[in-house]
Each structure stands twice: as C-alpha cells, then as structure tokens.
Amino acid sequence: MLMKSTQREEKAATQTNDTPAEVVLDCHAEQIFYGDFLAVRDSKVPIQKNKITGFIGPSGCGKSTVLKSINRMNDLVRTFRFEGKVQFHGIDIYDKKVDPVSVRRNIGMVFQQPNPFSMSIYENVAFGLRLNRFRGNMDEKVEKALRGAALWDEVKNKLKNNGLSLSGGQQQRLCIARAIATEPQVLLMDEPCSALDPIATRQVEELMIQLKQRFTVAIVTHNMQQAQRVADQTAFFAVDISQGGRTGYLVEMGPTSELFNNPKEQLTKDYLHGEFS
Amino acid sequence: MAHPTTTLPQEAASLSQPPSKMDIIFNKSFRSLTYAFTWAMVLLLAAIVIKIGIKAIPAIERHGLAFLTTTTWDVNSQHFGILPEIWGTLYSSLLALILGGFFGITIAIFLTQDFLPHRVEVVLKSIIELLAAIPSVVYGLWGIFVLIPLIRPLADFLHTHLGWLPWFSTSLSGPGMFPAALVLSIMILPTIAAISQDAFRAIPHKTKEAAFGMGTTRWEAILKVMLPAASGGIFGALVLGLGRALGETMALAMLVGNSNQISLSVFAPANTLASLLALNFPEAAEYEVSVLMYAACILLLITLLVNIAGTAIIAMTGSGAKK
Amino acid sequence: MKHAQTAENEFHLPRLERQPFEPRALKSIVLSSITVAAAITACIPLFSVLIMLLYRGGKRLSLEVFYQLPPTAFETGGGFGNAIVGTLFMVGIAALISVPFGILAAIFLAELGPDSKVAITARFCAKIMTGLPSILAGVFAYAAVVVVFKTYSAWAGGIALSLLMIPVVLLTAEEAIKMVPRAMKEAAVGIGCTPAQAMVKVILPVALPGIITGVVLAVARAAGETAPLLFTALFSDYWLKAQEPTASLAVLIYNYSGMPFENQIELAWAASLVLVLMVFLLNIISRTLGGRKKI
C-alpha cells in the first residue's frame, strides 16, 4: 500500500499547534541509495529551531540514514548517493561548493554507541574546540560543556582520566559534552540511549530537554515512549516493500501530541497501536 | 575536488569555524603523500624486477637459454651454466618441504585439535614461533658445528648398508645436501605450521561437532573431515614454505658444500642459486656480475611465481589470510 | 563384552565400554603418538641451538668483545664492537626509510583509498615482496647503490635491509589501522575532522601499539639478515665509516664460521649469542606491546 505522503506531510509541517518556529534545517531526501539499493525515498523533514524533532519508525525504515545524511556522515560509506536537498539556512549542504567538514562542525552528532576518544576526559571535550582553533579560556568552555551534559559533578575530580574509563551512560554524556562544546547550531542524535540502562537514559532525556533551549536537536529513537517524552515534532517513517526492495519513506510528520493522539494516516495508527508487522 | 567556496552561516553563539587554510593544505598534502607512497610500493617491486632484468641483458644475449641447461661455471673460459644450481635449489627445497611440511602440518594439528591444555598450547606455539626468529646465519653456524658431526654416523650407516640406493650412493664428507635440507626444513617449519594453524582455526566449529556427532574418533574426524576442510589453506602454506626454501641463502651457502654437480645422493655436496650469488658476487668482475644478474633473474622468476601462486591459493580458499 | 538377549526378539545391547584393542582405537593411539613425537622433535633444534649458543658463545662472552675490534688471523682476544655498531647503524637507516614509507602507504591502504586499484595492487606487491629472497634485496641494492657510487657502504647495506622491512611494516600497520573501532573513526569525522586530522589526532594514536609491534618485528628480522649485506656493506675490521665497507654481526658470523682459527670460531659463537639475544629481546618487546602473537 502506497500513499501520497508528500502533500500531506507538507500540510502537517505547517499546521503545527505548537508555536511554529523558524526552520533551521530543511531536509528533503528525494532518493538515497547505497549502491543500487534505494534505501529512502520522498522524505521531507523540516527541523525547527530550538525544538526537538524525533524520528520514529520500524527498523530498516531509513530514519538513521536520513539523520546521518543531514551532516553528511554517510559520505563515509563509499557507495552512498543522496538525491535531494538539505537546506541549512537556505544553503544546500549537498552543493558541490560546500565542504562537508564545515557542515559537520556546524551540525554536531551523537552516535548510537558511546564513542569517546582514547584520551583524557578533558581532552575529549577540548578536542572540538582545538579543532575549531578556539583561543579563549579552554578550562571554562570544557567545564561549561560538561555541566551542560550533566556530567561535571561526576568527573570534575578526574578530568585527566581516560574517557574510556567511564561507565556507558557517562561515556554517552561525555560524547554529548564533546558535541556541544563547540556550540553547534544543530545536534543530531542517533538512538543515543539504545546502549544505556534506564537510569542513564532518563539522565540523557532530561539533558536533551535542557539542551533545546540553546540548540536545535534531532533524535532518532526506536522507543515511542521516548519520542513522546522528549520530542516536540515527530516524524514517522515506514518501510515500503511493494517494489521488491525495502525502501524507507516518511509517512507523516507533525507535533508530537497530534501525531500520537490523532494520526492522519492509517499506517501510523496501526504502528502506534502495535499492529504493525 | 573543487575547492569549497561557500561559507556556512554563523550564529553568534557558535564556535564552529570552517577548516582553516592550513587544515585544508595539510589534508590535501597528507592525502597526496600517502597516495605517493602507495604508488612507491608498487614501483619498488617493479624497480627491483626491472633493474635486475636490465643488468642481466648482456648475459642473456650472450648465453641465451643454454645458460639454464649447461653445467660448467668457468670464469676463465667464460662458460657459464646454472643447471646444477637450479637442480640443487629445487632438490634441497623439495627435501625441506617434505620434512618441514610433515612436521609443520602435524604440529598444526597438535596445536589446534584440543590435544593440549590451553597453556601448554600457547607455550608450544611460542617455541615454534621463536624458531622463526633465529637468524639463518646462526642456523648455518649450528649446522656446521653441531648438526653435521651429529648426523655423520647416521649417514655412514645408511651409505654402508643402503648404498645401492641412489639417494645414499655417496658418503657424507661434511657439508652436503642432507644437512642443508635438514636446516632448511627447520627454517620453513614455522611458516607452514602458522599458516596451517590458521587454516584449521578457520573451519567452523559446527563442522567438527558434526563429525563427532556422527560418532567418529578424534583421528577419524581429523583425517576425514578437518584435514580435507583445511586442505586449501594447508596447500597454500606448503607453497609459501616452498617459496621461502627456494630463496633461503645463508644456511645453504654454509652447509650445502657449494659444489657444481648434479647428484641424486643426499650426502653429496651441491649448490643452489642463492648461495651461488652469495659466494660469487663479492669477487665478481664486470661481466660476471651480468651473468650473476641472469641467475638472480631466474631465482626471482621462480620465487615470484611460487609466491604469487601461494598467496592466490590462500586468498581463494579464504583461510589463513594473515601471515 | 556383554551380549544381552531377550526371549521375545533378538536385541544386541550396544557396547559402550572403551575397546582399547579395537583397530580404530589402536590407530588413534598410534597417530597421537606420532603427533606428540613430531612436536617434541620439532622443539629439539631450538633447544639445541640455544644450549650451544649459551655453552659455546657464553664461554667466550666478556665485556671486551663489545668494544674491541676483530682480531687478525693468528691473534688471540679481540671482539666485535665495530660489528655491533655497524648492525645498529644499518638497521637504523633501514628503519628510517621503511617506517615512514610503510606507515604512509598503510594509511592510504587502510583508510583513504582501501578499494582503489592502486591500493589493491600495492597490497598484492607488498605480500609478494615479503616472500622475496633476501639475497635479491642485496642484488638490487648492489645494482642501484654500490654500482652507482662505486663503493660498498653502510648506506647500501641499510637500503638493502629497508627493502625487506618495508612490506612487513606496511602490512602490519594496515592491519593495526583497520583494527581501530569504526565508532571512533565516526566520532572524529562527526565532530568535523578532515580525513587527515582524524587520522593524525585520533586513529593513529589508537593504532600506535600495533604499528610499533610491526616495526619492532621488522627490525628484528632485519637485524639477523646476512644475505643482503654480503655485497652491499661487505665487512670491515675497523670502526664504522658510513661511506665505506661496514661490519655487521651477521656477516661476521658467516665469515668467521669458515675460518680455520679457533679464536674466530669462538667469536662467531659469541656474536651469534649476542645477535640471538638482540632478536629475542625485540620479539619479546613486540609481543608485550602487541598483546597478540604473530610471526
């Protein structure tokens, strides 16, 4: 069953009940390929400033692929090909003139598995600052980032310890501190809690809600409760197997409460009620 | 890649900076540098082949293929033939391969088929690996002063009682094919054992379970299931071991006797291509250098072919890819 | 042996006891014994070499062999100080050439262009070159260096040894860089590193122990090589002069092993002991660093 999702989701994006905000990042993925394999099609996801946008959907629906396309992380995959546009303040980041390295410096990313560098906690956080030739008070910025990631009190006495010596939840918050230290405009999070226990998950969720005051956040999650708890806007993706492949696409997107309480599409309804195969 | 010109919009709060000129120059030159050295690796091998080939041209033109089929090596009369050396190289390597192959494969079985507690396995494995670390010149010294005196009684016995067999038709006068091949087999044993172990370890555990599940004894499982399954990798190991044996120089130069003759007897002195080069190069006059380069070409050709074959076999069977 | 028969129908209870004299059990015992014997036999050479080195080399080993020059034919005493210096110097040159060469090429092979044609060709060439007879490295260095500069020299010896080290360094460094977790590489790129920055700041520091393992192994291999030095560095009875023939431990052992003088033969054993200790030490270092074993 195929649906004409594009028009509807455009409508959904403009019909927000919450106060509509400026769209910082307008992602329109027409087609994303890995080699010959069409992974994602027709997905338009506008990301609003100082909001948390959640990406949900069954596994294989391309939500992570779309997220990773937003800061050109997928360039690491040799066979990756993106057709469409990602407008960042009106500039298409897939334009040939744009340097993907600059893009990643403005659009930070937190990964599914905590991946601190094998260096001290302090150096992990200072890494991005040094990379961006920051010349101010480094200690102050590192402390600010660690406080921002709600990690300061736990590590302030062992900043020289290796980042890998922390627990999983602490490592993930260290990665968040590392990502926010340079104050990127947008923060992408790819299932940031999937490797964490419930307590660490709650800490990271609370952190995200604080972060949206200063940053714009987009988060992929496999956990619908999590999307309900933290996301302002939610985009629902599904897999289309009608063409023989497994192509992901956006079914609908809207304010979280509206999408969960009053979905427009039958497919969304089925998924939310667990009737999705 | 075109130099990126578009700058992304900055917000006051953001500390993000696009990569500086230095960053970009560093990135580009770093990439070019690694690319250049990758090419250099290819060119290096090519240079070795070409350089030796060019130096050999005068000798190739003068002696042609007769070089490979004649047996005299006389600097004064300028007659050069390397048939005895080719024979010696192949014969010593083959003998070493039989011995080293048998021991190498047996040890690989011993180390991978749960004969030993894990700790003992690790110790034995380290001992075999240390065998490979001993420099070949030390093996040569050991061969001269320890091995040859040790095997002489055995050689005498074999010659007296089984002298009618062509292999034992001469007596061991000191250096000769047998001690050389013996040391050679010790030197290639670690290579064969290591790659064969990889081949055995690459067999999925379920294969072995299936064999035991059918009610085989340990040795029935090894001989009828594990050995055939690992045969590709083991074959590759033998070929690479052969490659090492063909090119080994010092132990042979010290032990083989450096005698320009062809004999089936394992106790007779002989010569090999590598030890011919080792012995004659330092004193070679200009034209003789070219002749030796020709011999080096033949050695290069034989070892390249054998190594390419061995690498390809291991790559194809997909086992023991790491050396 | 138990045969159980019931009245109603014939039923053989399977024999489950061990049958030590059954053919298949005998065969197993014989084969196992052969295996054990083969493994023990294979260990004999190593122990024999080590014992002889300690016995014959240890007897001659003294402080003065480390700083004295080689004796002339009928002299007593003497040492091989110049050969130790020569070996260290030439292995040093070889390392200076092969380490940057191997690591830079390995970076391209592992990260920057692993599937490119040139990378695949280079990887193949390196594998083939590890099997190159070491004497051919000497032949090449002779043609490319000795003939050109018209003299045997430590430089020529070092270059010949570097040819043997380059493929080893390259292949082990490539493995080490590939072993760095993908998540860490992603983190570096995700924070906005250029590929070169990611490599230098994040990936190489993590891969460093593995790379050093490979370098140390290559150094150990080069230190024991004789054939490439025979007609590139030749030998010398005097202290090191880099642009002249140079002594090395390996060539000293080779030369003295064929001499009819007891003093020289003793020195050859002592030099072998020193060389083997050096090589074993390097192997132990590389094992400790690498944590895993390789040959």
> What single DSSP character describes residue C111?
I
Q: Tens digit of pLDDT for each residue in B128-172? A: 888 888 999 999 999 999 999 998 888 888 888 887 787 887 777
- The rounded percent of chain C whose pLDDT value lies above 70 is 93
- Closest partner residue to B217 (CB to CB) among C28, C138, C234 is C28
Amino acid at C45: P
CB A8 within 8 A of CB A265: yes
Is A244 exposed, middle or buried, given 0-12, 13-18 or 19+ CB atoms closer than 10 A?
Answer: exposed
Distance of CA A39 to the CA centre of its chain: 18
Which tokens go with A186? 């947008």
Amino acid at A96: K
Is A94 exposed, middle or buried, given 0-12, 13-18 or 19+ CB atoms closer than 10 A?
Answer: middle
Indicate the Cα dihedral angle B307, B313, B319, B320, nearest 10°: -10
For residue A275, the model assigns a pLDDT of: 55
> Closest residue of A to B4, CA-based?
A97
For residue A235, the model assigns a pLDDT of: 93
Question: Tokens 């192997």 correspond to what residue?
Answer: C283
Q: Tens digit of pLDDT for each residue in B261-319? A: 888 888 888 999 999 999 888 888 888 889 999 999 999 999 999 988 888 888 887 64
Q: Which residues of A touch B7 (CB under 8 A)?
A: 102
Paired residues of A247 in beta bridges? A240
Residue C291 in this model has a pLDDT that exceeds 70: no
Give the C-alpha separation, C165 to B188, whole Å. 19
DSSP collapsed to 3 states, chain B: CCCCCCCCCCCCCCCCCCCCHHHHHHHHHHHHHHHHHHHHHHHHHHHHHHHHHHHHHHHHHHHCCHHHHCCCEECCCCEECCHHHHHHHHHHHHHHHHHHHHHHHHHHHHHHCCCCCHHHHHHHHHHHHHHHHCCHHHHHHHHHHHHHHHHHHHHHHHHHHHCCCHHHCCCCCCCCHHHHHHHHHHHHHHHHHHHHHHHHHCCCHHHHHHHHHCCCCHHHHHHHHHHHHHHHHHHHHHHHHHHHHHHCCHHHHHHCECCCCCCCCCCCCECCHHHHHHHHHHHCCHHHHHHHHHHHHHHHHHHHHHHHHHHHHHHHHCCCCCC
Q: Tens digit of pLDDT for each residue in A73-85? A: 888 888 888 999 8
With a CB-CB cutoff of 8 Å, which residues 47-66 of chain C face chain B? 48-49, 52-53, 56
Q: Which of C241, C105, C220 is nearest to C161 (CA)?
A: C220
Provide the CB-side half-sphere exposure for C279 (13 A, CA).
28
Is A48 exposed, middle or buried, given 0-12, 13-18 or 19+ CB atoms closer than 10 A?
Answer: buried
Phi then psi for residue B115, to 5 deg, are -80, -25
For residue A171, the model assigns a pLDDT of: 92
A32-to-A35, A172, B3 alpha-carbon distances in Å: 9, 29, 25
Which tokens go with C210? 């593995």
Residue A259 in this model has a pLDDT that exceeds 60: yes
What ipTM does this complex have?
0.87
Q: Sign of dihedral through CA atoms C159, C160, C165, C166?
A: positive
Provide the CB-side half-sphere exposure for B243 (13 A, CA).
27
Give the C-alpha separation, C4 to C11, whole Å. 7
Residue C22 in this model has a pLDDT that exceeds 80: no
Tell me the pTM. Answer: 0.85
Q: Is B20 an interface residue toward A (CB < 8 Å)?
A: yes
Q: Which residues of C touch A73 (CB under 8 A)?
A: 186, 189-190
Which tokens go with B85? 């050396």
DSSP collapsed to 3 states, C218-279: HHHHHHCCCHHHCCCCCCCCCCCCCCCCCCCHHHHHHHHHCCCCHHHHHHHHHHHHHHHHHH
Instruction: Give partners of C (≥3 CB pairs < 8 A).
Output: A, B
Number of domains in chain C: 1
Residue C7 in this model has a pLDDT that exceeds 70: no
**Cβ atoms < 10 Å from Cβ of A18:** 14
CB A29 within 8 A of CB A66: yes
Kindly determine whether residue B5 and residue A105, on different chains, have CB atoms separated by under 8 Å.
Answer: no
Q: Tens digit of pLDDT for each residue in A48-72? A: 989 999 999 888 888 899 999 988 8
Instruction: Give partners of B (≥3 CB pairs < 8 A).
Output: A, C
> Closest residue of A to B3, CA-based?
A97
What end-to-end distance do the CA atoms of chain B give, in Å?
38
At residue B208 the predicted structure's pLDDT band, cuts being 50, 70 and 90, is: confident
CATH number for the domain that contains residue A23: 3.40.50.300
How would you classify the pairing of strands A91-92 and A80-88?
antiparallel
Kindly determine whether residue A178 and residue C202, on different chains, have CB atoms separated by under 8 Å.
Answer: no
For residue B322, the model assigns a pLDDT of: 37
CB A235 within 8 A of CB A55: yes
- Closest partner residue to A129 (CB to CB) among B4, B7, B15 is B15
Q: Which of B293, B50, B269 is nearest to B173 (CA)?
A: B269
At residue A9 the predicted structure's pLDDT band, cuts being 50, 70 and 90, is: very low
Q: Angle, nearest 10°, between helix axes C134-141 and B21-63?
A: 90
Residues of the domain holding A206: 5-272
Residue A277 falls within a domain, yes or no?
no
- Closest partner residue to B135 (CB to CB) among C45, C118, C250 is C250
For residue A147, the model assigns a pLDDT of: 87
Q: Tens digit of pLDDT for each residue in C166-213? A: 999 999 999 999 999 988 999 999 988 999 999 999 999 999 989 998
Has domain B84-275+309-317 been given CATH number 3.20.20.100? Answer: no
Residue C41 falls within a domain, yes or no?
no
For residue C222, the model assigns a pLDDT of: 94
Is B246 exposed, middle or buried, given 0-12, 13-18 or 19+ CB atoms closer than 10 A?
Answer: buried
Q: Tens digit of pLDDT for each residue in C203-261? A: 999 999 899 988 998 999 999 999 999 989 989 888 988 889 999 999 999 999 988 88
| 3 state SS of A235 | strand
Q: Tens digit of pLDDT for each residue in B69-117? A: 888 888 888 888 899 999 999 999 999 999 999 999 999 999 988 888 8
Among A228-232, B28-32, C21-25, C103-107, name the one with the lowest average pLDDT.
C21-25
Average pLDDT of the residues in C27-47: 89
Residue C28 falls within a domain, yes or no?
no
Distance to chain C for A206, nearest Cα, Å: 23
Give the C-alpha separation, B19 to C212, whole Å. 31
Q: What is the mean pLDDT of chain C?
A: 88
Residues of the domain holding C286: 66-290
CB C195 within 8 A of CB A104: no
Give 3-state DSSP helix, strand, coil % of chain A, rounded to 5: 40, 25, 35
* Contacts for A217 with CB less than 8 Å, ≥ 6 apart: A51, A52, A53, A186, A187, A188, A189, A208, A211
For residue B102, the model assigns a pLDDT of: 94
Amino acid at B248: E
Q: Tens digit of pLDDT for each residue in B1-27? A: 444 556 666 655 567 788 888 889 999
Among A61-65, A102-106, A193-197, A226-230, name the one with the lowest average pLDDT.
A193-197
Q: Is B12 an interface residue toward A (CB < 8 Å)?
A: no
Indicate the Cα dihedral angle A194, A199, A203, A204, nearest 10°: 0
Among A272-276, B46-50, C135-139, name the one with the lowest average pLDDT.
A272-276
Is C119 exposed, middle or buried, given 0-12, 13-18 or 19+ CB atoms closer than 10 A?
Answer: buried
Q: Tens digit of pLDDT for each residue in A15-51? A: 444 566 788 888 998 999 988 888 898 889 999 989 9
CB A146 within 8 A of CB A124: no
For residue B1, the model assigns a pLDDT of: 42
**C217 or C76: which carries more pLDDT confidence?**
C217
Domain boundaries, given as residue ranges, for chain B: 84-275+309-317
Q: Which residues of A touch C194 (CB under 8 A)?
A: 101
Q: Which residues of C touch A187 (CB under 8 A)?
A: none
Give the C-alpha separation, C274 to A266, whole Å. 81
Residue A201 falls within a domain, yes or no?
yes
- The rounded percent of chain A whose pLDDT value lies above 70 is 92
Give the C-alpha separation, A70 to A65, whole Å. 9
CB C187 within 8 A of CB A110: no
- The rounded percent of chain C whose pLDDT value lies above 90 is 60
Q: Tens digit of pLDDT for each residue in A124-142? A: 999 989 888 888 899 999 9
Instruction: Give partners of A (≥3 CB pairs < 8 A).
Output: B, C
Among A171-175, C46-50, C73-77, C247-251, name the one with the lowest average pLDDT.
C73-77
For residue C286, the model assigns a pLDDT of: 85
- Closest partner residue to B13 (CB to CB) among A95, A105, A183 is A183
Q: Is B6 an interface residue toward A (CB < 8 Å)?
A: yes
Distance to chain A for B18, nearest Cα, Å: 5
Number of domains in chain A: 1
